[in-house]
Amino acid sequence: MDSFAPTHRTQVQRAPQRAVYDRAQIYSILDEGYICHAGFTVDGQPYVIPICYGRAGDQLYLHGSAVSRMVRALAENVDICITVTLIDGLVFARSACRHSINYRSVVVLGKARLVTDPGEKLEALRCLTNQFAPGRWEEVRKPDESELNAVSVLAVPLQEVSAKTRSGPPADAGPDDSLAVWAGVVPVWTLAGEPAGDARVPPGVTAFDIRRLTRFRHGGDI
């Protein structure tokens, strides 16, 4: 299917014109991000945890310490809500209540599955590593047995998903248009600076090429 079918839980109610259910557009938002926030409840206490993620096909992979509370809780088939938000601009209006943010956000609802198959676990870690930069997994040492045992990976199927976006100028009310106040959009970008290698990088090893970070602007672009 080219689009996610909205459910009673993912149907955008507020400002429905900003809703996005198109699969390709939603996946492009997920692929551009680095951090998601995972929300869940344990013994009546809600938690929202920031965590790295990666997407492979129609599922997200999350990882954490094998002894972490989050991993233990989510492996028990509890409901999870995952959000990813990208900020594209600050929207300055002529009145206080009309200020806004241009953004793209995704909400994923479902249950997490603990990945136990060794092959899938390695593939998930490859996905998570390459979320940093394409091809990074292929450059570095792969996890050994002790490292694999120390980390847990959770898979969350992308089934109940929706997105919401805002773009464009402020939506000032007509009478405010004549106010002598600047209004418009200040773009917000993620900027990648020059790599700073640690002291143990051997002489002659080429520095990381920030042009591989195609989701970022680079120092020379500004």
Is residue 178 included in any domain, yes or no? no
- Per-residue model confidence as pLDDT tens digits over 166-206: 999 999 888 898 899 999 999 999 999 999 999 999 999 99
Report d(CA 21, CA 158) in Å as an integer: 12
Of residues 174, 118, 167, the one with CA closest to residue 147: 118
Domain count, the chain: 2
In this structure, the number of other CB atoms found within 10 A of the CB of residue 112 comes to 27
Considering the domain architecture, whether residues 119 and 194 belong to the same structural domain is answered as no
Could you tell me the CATH number of the domain that includes residue 134? 2.30.110.10
The answer to the question of residue 177 being in a domain is no
**DSSP class of residue 188?**
-
Closest CA to 36 of 158, 204, 166: 158
Q: Pick the residue with more confidence: 109 or 215?
A: 109
User: Does one domain contain both 162 and 201?
Assistant: no
With beta carbons less than 8 A apart as the criterion, state whether 37 and 48 touch.
yes
141 shares its domain with 195: no
Chain position carrying tokens 């014109």: 17
Per-residue model confidence (pLDDT) at position 158: 97
46 belongs to a structural domain: yes
**Helix/strand/coil (H/E/C) assignment for every residue in 147-162:** HHHHEEEEEEECCEEE
pLDDT band, residue 220 (cuts 50/70/90): low
Q: Are residues 120 and 151 in the same domain?
A: yes
In a shared domain, residues 145 and 205? no
Rounded to whole angstroms, the Cα distance separating 85 from 67 reads 28
CA distances from 156 to 56, 60, 119, 152 (A): 10, 5, 17, 13
Residues 207 and 149 in one domain: no
Query: Which residues fall within 8 angstroms of residue 77, CB to CB, at 6 or more apart?
Result: 111
**Does residue 108 sit within a domain?**
yes
Range 86-100 average pLDDT: 96
Q: By percentage, how much of the chain surpasses pLDDT 90? A: 77
Within a domain: 146: yes
- Band of the pLDDT at 221, cuts 50, 70, 90? low
Res 105 pLDDT > 70: yes
Q: Tell me: do 154 and 214 sit in the same domain.
A: no
Average pLDDT over residues 113-125: 94
8 A C-beta contact, residue 164 and residue 20: yes
Residue 175 in any domain: the answer is no
Distance CA 175, CA 170 (A): 14
CB 92 within 8 A of CB 51: no
The residue segments making up the domain with residue 198 are 189-222
